[in-house]
Structure 1
């Protein structure tokens, strides 16, 4: 399949977090930056859902909503990574290095000599306020400070790295940020001659200077502003060069946000980037392997193992959207964790709200929309089911999806059958061909240990969530851990097999009597023909290679008929291999 289309937007930074607030205040059109989900009318209140998890739900849904606009996603870099990019383009940065243990912090401090500053590396602002920035006078103190920081919880981060740098004697702080003016579809420089924390709340102290995606910052306007300032005359040229280097960094790295806060002037007259935040356009990440970005998404926490697996699925299969994020857990015995599977950001949020009102806590947010393949939905379901401790599986989205719902039904049915689902599942499959989808799901899963029920668009999220609660409360309490079932005919020389893009198809020829062969003919969508009473491929192997969803449909239809003679082996790297 082709890669996702590259953004047609200017390949320059867009404001995030505090930069959004500041850009909104400074927007000449008077419009505020949107917060799609958090400021919507969809409440998540009066429930047991922790506030941190509630915020993550909103952010996840907002991220999904942004995926409808190419180029609206970002991947964040840590401070030390951003500083390396700035230094490579001529901006001075403090001497220092990363430490992943308290001993390494001591070694860094000994190398630097003199007082140091130790800073946690996490994708959040306000680190000093939570004890994430501390000064040390000697290596022993730097070691002790690092010891207290490593492993601490900063937002949704478990700190695993600290940056140890020389302590600067600062005379003056500036604020420099490149962001996108969404209305003008062009980059803008935000320049404050007084930087530091809280700059987002002091919009009157910041000047907007226009920039061009290719030509850069308006040189005359920048020079005029600097010369009208109280900066030392002898340092204006150096400050100007540093600001233009910030723009070059953004352009060359295809960043959507480059913020240096503060850009400092030290007491001995040096101009240095004391801190920085850099976010990269997620569609540009594949062109920049040197950045070492693991997941090209805007996360507020280090990616989990399941999030890495899910991201790999999304990158390998661009048919529709697949977004998966794990959510914070309280760890309380009455948490009532469930797997959540949505379709569409807004509809998923309404559905999630409904199930939360029934007293459940989603272990994850997941969205498969945009006409996903059965193979993609299968992978999503497998990943959701891999979460420990969940007591049910709740699927519901907008209810009016313009996609053939039976493909999702096939993917879900395959995953449930393969894993021997033993927790209740309620799936609202509203949209095109919903009647067929519900029939496929329920009949294919009728012999599973747990109840699987399908619903349509006219069934409200609230009513479906209420039914889900009844099923969960009636479930067996002590159930064994689910494990993947692979039929015994897989791998046998007597079986027919075909390699496809994401795995291999197997047919148990020893069980292929005339009835089974006829069954395959009826449900293979033209992929098979009959020869001497046996199924044979009716298309070339090259044509069949990308028909994973069609093969999944065939597998499920055979299972529905009580003849499980087809198996599509699609192991997920990280789960099965």
Structure 2
């Protein structure tokens, strides 16, 4: 997992991402392994202490800071959730990060939905646009089987750790099983064309280390929402979806398109999906199952 994470960092220099696996088995007397996601070194250490103080064992240290892209946060969450036997997901950093928290919220929201998160998650997103970030996670929680609670900088690590303890206790010992992400039925993955009908209506637009899929059969129905949520990055040209920017510039807008993906999901709009590559991760997960 550390090699997979390092490759993510090497391929995306927007902000920083660090992942280190610490424990794979909870020791006797522990309340279980926790997937940890911090933002900012000092604040992350305080938050880790808060989790340990209520009886849990930290499975990993993760830091996404320096104004990371939504795509980088998404990949970080996917890697954290590639660890088996977790009893919950705990995210908390300095609380005063000078970065746009809503990008992190979008990245987490996409990962949680794709993996059908079914263990508790407590996320503290303190810093710029924290109210918007909390709103995004509150909305996505309604589409999940797990309790996902989000907090602001005024909520201390000790407070949210205590709340995390309560949520985990309510699950009666449920543990996480890593899984491949779910994707909409219309999506046709590169390299897997033979497994899809030849009359597929999906079109693909390349982005940085991934691709956007749009169901052209539903374009007339969804184009207004896609144009709005993409901020005009995808427009209607001759009755079909098309990027509004040159290919190289469009490809760099993966975070904005990730936000569009999440907003469409929240609005119940099917027919738009952003697929982001994490080389080597699915192979590792397959070996764990």
Q: Same fold (TM over 0.5)?
A: yes
Aligned to 2:249: 543
Partners of 2:87 and 2:217 lie apart in 1 by 38
Aligned to 2:93: 397
Q: Does structure 1 retain, via aligned residues, the 8 Å contact 2:209–2:276?
A: yes
Gaps of 5+ in 1: 1-305
SS in 1 for 2:282: coil
SS in 1 for 2:161: helix
Which aligned pairs between 1:196-207 and structure 2 lie closer than 5 A? none
Matched, 1:327 2:22: yes
Aligned to 2:183: 486
SS in 2 for 1:398: coil
Matched, 1:352 2:48: yes
CA-atom RMSD in angstroms? 1.7
Aligned to 2:13: 318
SS in 1 for 2:34: strand
The verdict on how the C-alpha distance between 1:465 and 1:564 changes in structure 2, with shifts beyond 3 A counting, is: farther
SS in 1 for 2:166: helix
Matched, 1:423 2:93: no
Aligned to 2:219: 512
Q: Does structure 2 retain, via aligned residues, the 8 Å contact 1:394–1:425?
A: yes
SS in 2 for 1:485: coil
> Highest Rg: 1 or 2?
1
The verdict on how the C-alpha distance between 1:308 and 1:511 changes in structure 2, with shifts beyond 3 A counting, is: same
The normalised TM-score by structure 2 is 0.89
The counterpart of 1:338, out of the listed 11, 16, 34, is: 34
Cα offsets for 1:340-366 (capped at 9, x unmatched)? 000000000111111111111110001
Offset at residue 527 of structure 1 (A): 0.5
Aligned to 2:272: 566
Offset at residue 539 of structure 1 (A): 1.4
Partners of 2:185 and 2:174 lie apart in 1 by 28
Q: Does structure 1 retain, via aligned residues, the 8 Å contact 2:118–2:145?
A: yes
Aligned to 1:552: 258
Cα offsets for 1:378-419 (capped at 9, x unmatched)? 110001001111110000000011110000001111111111
How many pairs align? 271
Question: With CA pairs under 8 Å and 6+ residues apart, which has the higher RCO, 1 or 2?
Answer: 2
Partners of 1:455 and 1:434 lie apart in 2 by 9
Cα offsets for 1:244-296 (capped at 9, x unmatched)? xxxxxxxxxxxxxxxxxxxxxxxxxxxxxxxxxxxxxxxxxxxxxxxxxxxxx
The verdict on how the C-alpha distance between 1:330 and 1:541 changes in structure 2, with shifts beyond 3 A counting, is: closer
Q: Does structure 1 retain, via aligned residues, the 8 Å contact 2:87–2:176?
A: no
Matched, 1:442 2:146: no
Aligned to 1:242: none
Which aligned pairs between 1:449-488 and structure 2 lie closer than 5 A? 449-475=145-171, 477-478=173-174, 481-483=177-179, 484-488=181-185
Matched, 1:522 2:257: no
Offset at residue 330 of structure 1 (A): 5.5
Partners of 1:366 and 1:459 lie apart in 2 by 20
The counterpart of 1:503, out of the listed 177, 202, 210, is: 210
SS in 1 for 2:87: coil
Q: Does structure 2 retain, via aligned residues, the 8 Å contact 1:421–1:482?
A: no
Q: Does structure 2 retain, via aligned residues, the 8 Å contact 1:351–1:397?
A: yes
Offset at residue 551 of structure 1 (A): 1.1
